[in-house]
Chains A and B, each alone.
Chain A
Amino acid sequence: DSGVTQTPKHLITATGQRVTLRCSPRSGDLSVYWYQQSLDQGLQFLIQYYNGEERAKGNILERFSAQQFPDLHSELNLSSLELGDSALYFCASSPRTGLWEDTQYFGPGTRLTVL
């Protein structure tokens, strides 16, 4: 158990809908990362937050947004969903601010299926 929690575990929704994925980092970690893993694209970095502020951006679509709250939990919002958004979404946390400066602790992931 990494200490990172993600909810929900599974999510099934329809095209055009909006969903919110939630992540709670390990106790004491200030950085939260979001990743998407699909069968055709593999693992991709979406975005990093550190102590409430956006620190680095990867291949995040404009339809996707994220935020990190004062209690350090983070939410990833996916809107106008398309079939191609079906994927595993992972959250990870680490203590430091620099992008991948230290060990990442991954959550169990949320499996999103868009029908």
Chain B
Amino acid sequence: KNEVEQSPQNLTAQEGEFITINCSYSVGISALHWLQQHPGGGIVSLFMLSSGKKKHGRLIATINIQEKHSSLHITASHPRDSAVYICAVRAAGNKLTFGGGTRVLVKP
């Protein structure tokens, strides 16, 4: 079992729909990051979380340290949100582990 699991692996939504991507991890962590990888390959860091909730525009990220779970929500999804979303955790001993990614397609 991977230390970081993302679900779903693939997601298709209609423009305007609310999207949720989940990330579960099995180790104690000091921080969790959400990344967005565009179809062209470029990677953008979206959020860094160690507790609670963060919001940026239509994106919301939450983390529950006790349940070892984080979610990334996209409200009012748009075709430009089509990308692969990757969560990554920083664990003890400076270990950095990435999830396998969730491929999101938003149709107009």
Contact = CB atoms under 8 A, between A and B. Distances in A.
Interface stretch (B12-20, B59-67, B69-77, B96-104): B96-104
A99 B90 contact: yes
B86 to A, nearest CB: 6
A24 to B, nearest CB: 16
A88 B41 contact: yes
B88 interface: yes
Interface of B: 31, 33, 35, 41-45, 48, 86, 88, 90, 94-96, 98-101
Contacts of A105: 45
A104 B45 contact: yes
A43 interface: yes
A45 B43 CA distance: 14
Interface residues of A, number: 20
A42 B100 CA distance: 6
Nearest to B96: A45
B10 to A, nearest CB: 15
A100 B31 contact: yes
Contacts of A92: 43
26 contacts: A2-B44, A42-B99, A43-B88, A43-B98, A56-B94, A56-B96, A58-B96, A88-B41, A90-B43, A92-B43, A99-B94, A99-B96, A100-B31, A100-B33, A100-B88, A100-B96, A101-B31, A102-B48, A103-B45, A104-B35, A105-B45, A106-B42, A106-B43, A106-B44, A108-B41, A109-B41
